[in-house]
A and B are shown apart, each in its own frame.
Chain A
Amino acid sequence: MPLDTSTYSLALLRVDGRRWNELRRLHAQIRTQAAADGSSYLEMGHTKVMCVLTGPAEQNQSQRRGQTSGGGGSARDTASINVNVIIAGFSSVDRKKRGRNDKRTQELEITIAKTFSSIVHTHLFPHSSISISLHVLSSDGSLLAALLNAATLALIDAGIPMSDYIAACTAGSTSSHSASDDSADPLLDLNTQEEQELPYLTVATLGSSDRIAVLNCESRLQVSRLEGMLVVGVDGCKQVKQILDRVIREKGVQMIREGAVDRSDTMVMDLDE
């Protein structure tokens, strides 16, 4: 067994060799599923998720009743966003099978649906629904953040108008409970082991701005550390936004080059290489 998070102070190195302010390798792709309206695949370290999106489409009976629908007022005059998170049994070490009604999963679904309901221009699509299916292939920390990022990419891929990217990551603190330990460093982008041993929160911002769209914290932490963690988290979100943006732009360039779409005047993307 490798060392645990308590050895950070020995050489300012985390359990996987990162420094306090470094993200894990973030790799993403969009349009991975040609048949879907929008799709994406995203890796943050060993957390691997896939997103498939359908819609906006006219709501049918079953959709109207079932699934988790996020806020967004009455389903009549705006599009509803339905989120479905499927966590594969093989995604975590203990290979636990999670049922459909797993409370943790439902919580994730609601958080994601609510977040996007507030930034997608749902009023443009009355009487319709957007279904986001998120598949967790491998889970190694920062799961909610990865799901939010993947959903952002899929929404953009589907061409659904929204006010900005949602970019998310986690932030933690090196010291678990010691009150007098002022030397605790904030940490960026936690993996499973760190999440299990240290306090952490998930933060998502609207694009590169400082506006926070999601802030979720389930661990106990010293209030005095919250600010530092939040700063590091917001900073991490900006880095995530850059990476997501690059993925989109590269795909756009590639598609134009391949002639998949026409180069049109409305496209303001900077395609100079």
Chain B
Amino acid sequence: MTSLKRSAEGDTFGSNISNKTYVRSTRSGKVQKIVREVYLRTDIPCSSKLCKACLQSAPRNAANEVQPFVLSEKPAGTKSFPQGHYLMPDTNALLNAMDLFEQSSSFYDVIILQTVLEELQNRSLPLYNRLLGLTKSEDKRFYVFFNDFRQETFVNRDPDETVNDRNDRAVRQALKWYGQHLAQTKAKNIPAVVMLSDDQENLRKAKAEGLHAASLRQYVETLEDSDKLLDMVADVQSSGGFKKPGQMLYPEHFTTSRMMTGVKAGLMHQGIFNVSPYNYLEGSIKVPAFPKALLVLGRENINRAVDGDLVVVEVLPQDQWKEPSTKIIEEEAITKNEGADAEESQDLVSEKERKALQEEVKKTHKVKSEGGPQPTAKVVGIIKRNWRQYVGHIDPSSASKGSTQGRRMDNVFLIPMDKKIPKIRLRTRQASELMGKRLLVAIDAWERDSRHPTGHFIRSLGELETKAAETEALLLEWDVQYRPFPKTVLDCLPSEGHGWKVPASTDDPGWRDREDLRNLLICSIDPPGCQDIDDALHARKLPNGNFEVGVHIADVSHFVKPANAMDTEASIRGTTVYLVDKRIDMLPPLLGTDLCSLKPYVERYAFSVLWELNDNADIVNVRFTKSVIASREAFSYEQAQLRIDDASQQDDLTNGMRMLLMLSKKLKQKRMDAGALSLSSPEVKVQTESETSGPIDVKTKALLDTNSLVEEFMLFANISVAAKIYEAFPQTAILRRHAAPPKTNFDELSNQLKVKRGLELRSDSSKAVADSLDECVDPKEPFFNTLVRIMATRCMMSAEYFCSGTQSYPEFRHYGLASEIYTHFTSPIRRYADLVAHRQLAAAINYEAVHPTVRSRGRLEAVCKNINVRHRNAQMAGRASIAYYVGQALKGQVAEEDAFVMKIFSNGFVVLVPRFGIEGLIRLRDLAEPEPDSEFDAENYTLKTKGSREVTVELFQKVRVRVHDEKDEMTGKRGVKMELTSA
């Protein structure tokens, strides 16, 4: 029998093969051992422009091109390395201070090791992506050196060595090799290769081997603008490993395996931690096991969770269950006098916080209302932090008085713009300069012995309250991609630029399979001044008495080809974001406002949905086609309305619009009969003067028949397209669903209506909700119905994009529109989902082949996930922008307005001012000085004050408030303040 053992190697790689063994655990909890081959080689270049040897053997791609070398021949020097230097950070250096590497004054010529890149990818995907971005930027000169594939720098893990130790050793080995290798170049000034690490042990070993190494802090101190940069060095390692075990304020988090076992056994629950907008000490977590959200009350139970984190909680015994708080607790107000320096010495729960919470507990013992107490829980561990960069400003009261002089290291508190985020402690030498500015910061850690999370400063956006700073702040806060389009994206645009035209000859490939609809009387109806015209319509009477109606949508997919740079950018942006004075486009403006935009008097490519409808607006026939159209006119809603109403206008275009209006009313009636909801959110429009762009007036949006005309046909087109693409791609159609809200969502509102007005809110179906909302009227107060609708809207789930294969058909339902199936098709210029739907529809009608990205389920799911987030963020950013401008419009003015009470707490209430569409909080202490005593009747939603001022406020009540803006001297923050003038 011949042995199967491997014979001596005779082939090219010979002994240069190694194996890499690692284990991974799968989603189902299995552990897999994976062995992978590694081919070691000697032709991986150092990529230094000084080195001629590597250039000769440099690898070539299939087109026989050599990759250009990256590292400069004359890198910058520092005080310690006047001869110039290359940097070689280890993983922790990148994890702690990616911001440093990204800034432009230093940190050039950086060698990123494969070992480090791999480790970073495992530790933090966002950082990994940022690092890849850096390696692609030409001016930063970041080079990825695949040390694990180069024979001399490959390091095998010793039997008793940890993975970390092995990686550290690999970094040092590469450092050593680079030093020796560069020495061989015989250049006049051989740059030093410097390892950056925050690991004391690694630094010590490197120095013992005679290698250049420095901690981030040490290195930054030798740079020119060290003061500024030192702030960006994360706070964690400044204390090094020598921190004496202080007093632990928070309970320890469980280990991951303990949490996993607990969750599996049903003893613990996993969910996203949400902080109440009215009470920073109250959070809630929705878990499948409980119908009501679990409450997490108090600092100790919250145990360092931050809004958005994925946490694991343990439910508290039933005798500790509580009602959700009926009290406003604001962090700023309660902790405003705490110094940032002195905090370690304090107890975890300050006396004031304890008092604030105790009153809560007392109350819940006393009152017993409908819902009964809610289950409470405590956070035992955090699976995944959802920390991002935060915008905020320094609390001036937290800075020590001396800090206005010298450059002493100072501890200050940063108050984030997002009220749900706790104050962040920063260490800085430039407190006095940062005061009064909008700042961008990151949280580094939240240790057990620190009351507040610690973070570091990234950059300043500018003076507080300046328009530039505030606009950038809200874009950052809502993660809107607002940087200019990169060159790679602009390269995808048609080379003709604005000169592009629909080809005159119908033999041109652009005309392939396109219908010529230029003879149709098509027009568009949009808000005034709209530049990105997505849609246009037409209608005409057919000889058989039926109507032909066409919805024509900009043919964006003709210009944006799948998976090119422009498509990738658009898929990341997900949507165009509309701010009051600014639009952040999803696609470059050349397309959005010109080539795709269905402007009047020019020919444009379109994607048309054409129906034949009978008198009753029932579909006789529907078809979809790519087309060429020539819009006759671009109307604003008002212009269109005027023209329709003007009986003297009897031309075909106007008559077409009348037909559309008539049909749209029938469509709307049908939708309403099916149970579509007409919900409401306070909508206002800020009018700005074009030149100064300062707000001059705030108006509530008026709704005309023509608004609903356009809306109806867009809904109609979306539904038709949804059915078509689902038929063609049952597994991968991109659709939009709106889940029915759980019944409990309406509990509170329905109880409120019953108690206060004797009205009934039925929530068993969308039809029942719609009907009962119609009945919620107060003959004396027309706004009451809108108010209830606004409050009902907040009980709803949010609609979401999804890939049809991920849900069963009944789940496709769009609750709000009462449609079985729905998608977005009609705004491809400003929504990415629509663009995907266009591509799928084009494939469904055999216009073009299906591109793999359009039907790869995994990719579509990722796209849906992203655009769902982007969509919500865009809405929030838009609202924040309006709120800011409303504030600006009110600046220096005092307005007395009607307002309605939306929510009542034991120490204050929330009112909505319809004219400005803003909500404001009025606390007891705002009513009078000294703060009046109060009696809160939770069952009847009534708050009665006594003493210094006597008023009775109840839910849904109409009150008069004085609205003005006010700068809080303590925090330097300007905000809209409301005062109650009469109840």
Residues of A within 8 A of B (CB): 1-3, 7, 10-13, 15-22, 24-27, 29, 31-34, 41, 43, 45-46, 50, 93-94, 140, 177-181, 183, 185-186, 191, 193, 220, 228, 232, 243
Contact = CB atoms under 8 A, between A and B. Distances in A.
A179 B561 contact: yes
Contact of B563 (A20, A34, A140, A178): A178
B34 interface: yes
Contact of A11 (B38, B44, B63, B856): B44
A39 B224 CA distance: 71
| Listed residue (B2, B33, B61, B145) with the most chain A CB atoms within 10 angstroms of its CB | B61
Given A1-B22, A11-B144, A45 B37 contact: yes
A13 B144 CA distance: 11
A213 to B, nearest CB: 24
B967 interface: no
Interface residues of B, number: 51
Contacts of B41: 17
Contact of A12 (B1, B35, B61, B851): B61
Interface in B1-57: 1-2, 4, 6-7, 9, 11, 13, 17, 20, 22, 24, 26, 32-41, 44
A117 to B, nearest CB: 29
B566 to A, nearest CB: 9
B564 A1 contact: no
A185 B60 CA distance: 10
A29 B4 contact: yes
Given A17-B38, A25-B9, A46-B37, 5 more contacts: A13-B146, A18-B39, A25-B17, A31-B2, A232-B62
Nearest to A185: B62
B678 to A, nearest CB: 42
A191 B39 CA distance: 13
Contacts of A1: 22, 24, 118, 121-122
B40 A17 contact: yes
Interface in B561-599: 561-565
Contacts of B22: 1-2
B118 A3 contact: yes
Given A17-B41, A46-B37, A191-B37, A27 B67 contact: no
B884 interface: no
Given A17-B38, A27-B11, A3 B117 contact: yes
Contacts of B1: 33-34
A91 to B, nearest CB: 12
Contacts of A46: 35-37
A158 to B, nearest CB: 15
A19 B562 CA distance: 29
A25 B33 CA distance: 22
Given A17-B149, A34-B1, A228-B62, A27 B6 contact: yes
A185 B562 CA distance: 20
B135 interface: yes
B758 interface: no
B621 to A, nearest CB: 34
Contacts of B149: 13, 17
Residue from B44, B114, B492, B856 whose CB has the most chain A CB atoms within 10 Å: B114
B930 interface: no
B36 A11 contact: no
Nearest to B149: A17
B563 A11 contact: no
A17 B856 CA distance: 29
B948 interface: no
A67 B562 CA distance: 45
Nearest to A137: B4
A179 B62 contact: no
A211 B726 CA distance: 44
5 contacts: A1-B22, A3-B114, A12-B59, A33-B2, A185-B62
A181 to B, nearest CB: 8
A186 B62 contact: yes
A257 B573 CA distance: 72
Contact of A17 (B9, B26, B39): B39
Given A12-B67, A180-B561, A20 B61 contact: yes
A264 B124 CA distance: 68
B853 interface: yes
Contacts of A180: 492, 561, 563-565
A26 B804 CA distance: 45
B159 interface: no
Contacts of A3: 114, 117-118, 121
Interface in B841-900: 851-853, 856
Contact of B851 (A31, A32, A179): A179
Contacts of A13: 44, 59, 146, 149
B144 A178 contact: no
Contacts of B135: 10
B92 to A, nearest CB: 19
A22 B41 CA distance: 12
Name, among B40, B146, B148, the residue most crowded by chain A CB atoms within 10 Å (CB to CB): B146
A1 to B, nearest CB: 6
Contacts of B561: 179-180
Contacts of B38: 16-17
A21 B61 CA distance: 9
A251 to B, nearest CB: 10
Contacts of A93: 32-34
A82 B741 CA distance: 61
Contacts of A185: 61-63
A89 to B, nearest CB: 14
B564 A94 contact: no
Given A27-B7, A179-B564, A179-B851, A16 B37 contact: yes
A10 B144 CA distance: 7
Contacts of A186: 62
Nearest to B35: A46
A26 to B, nearest CB: 7
B763 to A, nearest CB: 45
Contacts of A26: 11
In this complex, the member of B32, B33, B44, B62 whose beta carbon has the largest number of chain A beta carbons within 10 angstroms is B62
Contacts of A29: 2, 4, 7
Most chain-B CB neighbours within 10 Å: which of A25, A50, A183, A243?
Answer: A25
Given A2-B36, A45-B37, A243-B11, A220 B852 contact: yes
Nearest to B568: A178
B4 A41 contact: yes
Interface in B54-83: 59-63, 67
A17 B146 contact: yes
A193 B35 CA distance: 12
Contact of A32 (B4, B59, B563, B564): B4
A11 B34 CA distance: 24
Contacts of A31: 2
Contacts of A43: 6
A176 to B, nearest CB: 8
A177 B146 contact: no
Contacts of A243: 11
Q: Which 6 A-B pairs have the closest CB atoms?
A: A17-B149, A180-B564, A17-B39, A185-B62, A220-B852, A10-B144
Contacts of B26: 94
Contacts of B36: 2, 15-16, 46, 191, 193
Interface centre among B2, B492, B561 (most CB of A within 10 A): B2
A21 B60 CA distance: 10
Contact of B13 (A10, A11, A25, A191): A25
A90 to B, nearest CB: 11
A139 to B, nearest CB: 12
Given A12-B61, A12-B67, A177 B121 contact: no
Nearest to B135: A10
A2 B163 CA distance: 13
Contacts of A18: 39
A15 B33 CA distance: 17
Nearest to A231: B62
Contacts of B562: 177, 179
